[in-house]
Structure 1
Amino acid sequence: MATTKELSVEDKLRAIYDLQLIDSRIDEIRNVRGELPLEVEDLEDEVAGLSTRLDKLKSDLESIEEQIKNKKGAIEEHKEGIKKYTKQQETVRNNREFNSLTKEVEFQELEIQLAEKQIKEMKASIEHKKQVIADSKERLDAKSSHLKHKKSELDAIMSETEKEETFLSEKSAEYEALIEERLLQAYKRIRGSVRNGLAVVSIERGASAGSFFTIPPQTQMEIASRKKVITDEHSGRILVDSALADEEKEKMEQLFSKF
């Protein structure tokens, strides 16, 4: 390919208009995907969050069940304590020892009551957590199913367009290399500031494409002469004549038709 310095103004205009056509086609491909990649990403984050929450709930449930097991074990120990202290009361030598053992028995009974109360509360907590787990699992299953559908949808679009987008992105880079840095930066700046991404437009019915502002005849003649790069004073877009635009569109259509 010719280097940037060897390009005439007309060649520069053709190159930058070709670049615009290629980049616009890439825009179209990406618009087909729309918000799908972001939707998939958000759903993946949501599914991951729900999975983590579900794991935490299950871990909490196991912890409560272990606590109940420990409390039941403690109750058995307290019952053994009651048996021991009650038996010791049969061999006491005085009232002071009897009363001391009675207090020990009462303490063990209170500990049993407390443990039973805590077990009852923990069992209620288990039932609540089981319901929360069931609801969370149902929600996770629904989100996972939705994610699977959206990923399948995105994969189908990607399989149709990925090869073309890769090819066009390489072509875009090739055409960028032909354009001098100052003009390329202007092109990118304009593309980034306009909603439709059109930085280079042709003259249509005496006005720049997509604009209602008429281009003066003298300016139209200068544009058609292809001797210098001219921009629209209203939008800042780079202007090319319709004949050049038609020629380059036809050339690019052949490129795009490969897909």
Structure 2
Amino acid sequence: MRNKLKALYELQEIDLRIDGLDGEKAQLVSESQALDAKLAEAREKIAARREEVSALEEEKGALEASLASENDNINRSESHLKEIKTQKEYQAVSKEISGAKKLIAELEEQILQKINAIEEISGDIAKREADLVELEGNVAAQQAEVQQKVEALEGGIAKDAATREETMKIIPASVMKRYSRLRDQRRGVAVVEAKEGNCMGCNMHLPPQLYNTLFRADDVLTCPHCQRILVMKQEVQD
């Protein structure tokens, strides 16, 4: 049983090490995803600005069409003036021309505003695109570094997993089942050291008879308080 307890203690050490490596890997993956999200956000902002330009271009086009239409109306009205014979009709057409010219001035002002807005946003897009190129370079370098670290961790995890498989062969199936259940229930820690009369898992005092029995290392014993499997470290390391 001493060898089985020793294997159980070693299994716990291996599993805790794998847990740590998995945690580091998860953190790196999270960092990688954050970098991807940063790039996606930058690209989305550029796309949104381009949509603004597209909308402004469409609005400018509509204004220019209206401007062309009003200019045509003025040309027709001015041509018509030559054919007018009454003062009343002349005044009416002149009023139409005056109104059209006022509208043209307003349309030209609106078109100018659209042009200025398009130029401003286009300048912002150019700056954002330059920043994006720099960001893509930085992210690529960071992603490569993260990937290298992830691969190193995966190598460590694979090595520990292989050792774990060999260690499990020494442990009875019934004990493994109890160990796995405790790992799930006790945040990954199923095996703890008993030291100076105490359980190092929950820091509760152990019954003297139980504590003394642990020295013999001839059975799988658990803490009456936290139910974790108890080992005497010096016993399983001999």
State if a TM-score over 0.5 links the two structures. yes
Post-superposition CA distance 1:205-249 (Å, at most 9, x none): 65545786665653232223332422263x5532112245326xx
Q: How does 1:58-137 map to 2 (within 5 A)?
A: 58-137=50-129
Unaligned runs of 5+ in 1: 1-8, 248-259
Unaligned runs of 5+ in 2: none
Decide whether the 8 Å contact of 1:208 with 1:239 is kept in 2.
yes
Aligned residue identity for 1:136: R
Aligned residue identity for 1:223: L
Q: Distance in 2 between matches of 1:220 and 1:155?
A: 47
Q: Distance in 2 between matches of 1:20 and 1:124?
A: 68
1:78: how far off? Answer: 1.9
2:150 to 136, 146, 158: 158
Decide whether the 8 Å contact of 1:229 with 1:238 is kept in 2.
yes
TM-score (norm 2): 0.78
Please give the secondary structure, in 2, of the residue aligned with 1:35.
helix
Aligned residue identity for 1:202: E
Aligned-residue sequence identity (percent) comes to: 20
**Corresponding position: 1:49 with 2:41:** yes
Q: Distance in 1 between matches of 2:98 and 2:172?
A: 92
How many residues align? The count is 233
**Which stretch of structure 1 is more off in the superposition, 62-71 or 97-106?**
62-71
Q: Match of 2:139?
A: 147
1:70: how far off? Answer: 4.0
Q: Match of 1:185?
A: 181
**Corresponding position: 1:246 with 2:237:** yes
Q: Match of 1:250?
A: none
TM-score (norm 1): 0.72
Alpha-carbon RMSD across the aligned residues, in angstroms, is: 3.3
Decide whether the 8 Å contact of 1:202 with 1:245 is kept in 2.
no
